[in-house]
A = this chain, B = another copy of it.
Amino acid sequence: MALRVQKYGGTSVADIDRINHVADRVQKASDQGDKVVVVLSAMSGVTDSLIRLANQATEKPDKKELDVLLATGEQTTAALLAMILKSRGYKAKSFLGFQAGIQTDKASGRARIVDIDAKNIQSALENGNIAVVAGFQGADIDGAITTLGRGGSDTSAVAIASSLKADVCEIFTDVEGVYTTDPRICSSARKIHRISYDEMLEMAILGGAKVLQIRSVEFAKKFNVPVHVRSSFSEEEGTMVVNESSDMESVIVSGVTCDMNEARITLKRVPDQPGISAKIFTPLADAEISVDMIIQNTRSGGETDLTFTVTKDDFDRAKEISGKVAREVGAVEVLTAEEIAKVSVIGLGMKSHSGVAATMFEALASENINIRLISTSEIRISCVILAKYAELAVRTLHSAFGLDQEK
């Protein structure tokens, strides 16, 4: 008998028909003798409609009250699934965030879980109930409703799984699992069967958290919760996200990602003096613009070129601030490029294998793709290239690191 936490995303609970399918799966697990905690998102589209409603009410909706409004989405699906399970003769009980004991900080709209007191869920399970929890929400220390941000239900599920010491946290979604790369770009992409938390984190950060919310992976890593990402539309096994093990390092590269959401800014011929970087990056930080890659090339004559990337959303503001700073510090000019892509290879194996960077650069060179910027972490190498080469680069790297599906 296992204790399973199952999380179903928005497309998995899109309508009553889909919620009935979720009930089928939950029922199956329960019939096997497993204890089941179900964590639900809002029906797909509902959160967006609620945000539209709030924007109709006022241009800048108060964040605390927006949390109260948005929390209704998950409350609805939790109540519906619980009543379906009960009508099928199962004991079931819905829990809102505060009832599930999910305590968060006060950061409305992007609250972080600070504590979980799962005693209510625990006692419901002990009484033979299936616990159905509204994801995405919690309450702060004063009992005010909070929400955890986009994809927050993933984090709810992992946090509850950790608190209950569940055997597995299953994340049911509309894809089959985590792939070696985006199958829409590369038809030979393969599903990854096991991946480490760290690799998953890099994939999630670079892929815009399409499969798993980044925080949920951090949480899973911190508390060592085995996460199973799988499809709610099939019975196939998906991807296990687990602690790194020695055999994982035999695979040099686990995946290739591509991020089209960055833009590049270069300050040409900045005087090469101590403190110059702070002068440039402090105003950006003050404007809450987060800078991703930073590269500095030393020129001759006491000057340097400074290049960095920001998300496209922040690009216009970053360009304006950079222009101002450039004049102040005496840089000669500001160059920008929006049409760039960051392709990355990720793999635990890099820790123990040399030559990964060389293979990557050679593969790109073989297709005449010029590399503009390079950055690395212990388990990742990223190259910025022109956006028009993005798909070609992904396919080339996927093949170069032996990730292509066997035909």
Contact residues of A with B, CB < 8 Å? 16, 19-20, 50, 53-54, 56-62, 64-66, 68-69, 71-72, 75-76, 78-80, 82-84, 86-87, 93-94, 96, 99, 120, 143-145
Q: Which residues of B contact A75 (CB under 8 A)?
A: 68-69, 71-72, 75
19 residue pairs of the A-B complex, CB under 8 angstroms, read A16-B57, A19-B57, A54-B83, A57-B87, A58-B87, A60-B87, A61-B83, A62-B86, A62-B87, A65-B80, A65-B82, A65-B83, A65-B94, A68-B75, A68-B78, A68-B96, A69-B79, A72-B72, A96-B145
| Beta-carbon nearest neighbor of A19 in chain B | B57
Chain B residues near A66 (CB-CB < 8 A): 79, 83
Partner of A65, one of B79, B120, B145: B79
Chain B contacts for A87, CB-based, 8 A: 57-62
Q: A54-B80, A57-B80, A60-B87 are in contact. List 17 more A-B contacts (CB 8 A).
A: A20-B57, A54-B79, A57-B83, A58-B87, A61-B83, A62-B83, A64-B93, A65-B82, A65-B83, A68-B79, A68-B96, A69-B75, A69-B79, A71-B75, A72-B75, A72-B76, A96-B145
Interchain CA distance A129-B76 in the complex, whole Å: 29
Return the chain B residue nearest A145 by Cβ.
B96
Within the complex, the shortest CB–CB distance from A145 to chain B, in Å, comes to 7
Contact residues in B for A56 (Cβ distance below 8 Å): 16
| Contacting pair B53 A99 (CB below 8 A) | no
* A66→B75 CA distance, assembly (Å): 11
Question: Min CB distance, A381 to chain B, in Å?
Answer: 46
> When chains A and B are docked, how far (Å) is the Cα of A65 from the Cα of B76?
9
Q: Which residue on B lies nearest to A70, using beta carbons?
A: B79
Task: Give Cα A50 to B54, complex, Å.
Answer: 20
A82 vs B94: C-alpha distance when bound (angstroms): 27
Chain B residue nearest to A93 in the complex (CB): B64
Q: Chain B contacts of A50 at CB under 8 A?
A: 76
User: B72 to A57, Cβ gap below 8 A?
Assistant: no
Residue of B nearest to A143 (CB): B99
Evaluate contact between B53 and A16: CB separation under 8 angstroms.
yes
User: Which residue of B is nearest A20, CB measured?
Assistant: B57
Least Cβ distance of A99 to chain B in Å?
6
Q: In the complex, A86→B78 CA distance in Å? A: 30
Among A50, A59, A84, max chain B CB count under 10 A is at A84
Contacts of A83 in B (CB 8 A): 54, 57-58, 61-62, 65-66, 69
Give bound CA distance, A271 to B80, whole Å: 53
Contacts of A69 in B (CB 8 A): 75-76, 79-80, 83
- Distance, CA A66 to CA B144, complexed state (A): 23
> Chain B CB within 10 Å — which of A54, A58, A76 has the most?
A58
Q: Which residues of B contact A68 (CB under 8 A)?
A: 75, 78-79, 82, 94, 96
B residues within 8 A CB of A64?
A: 93
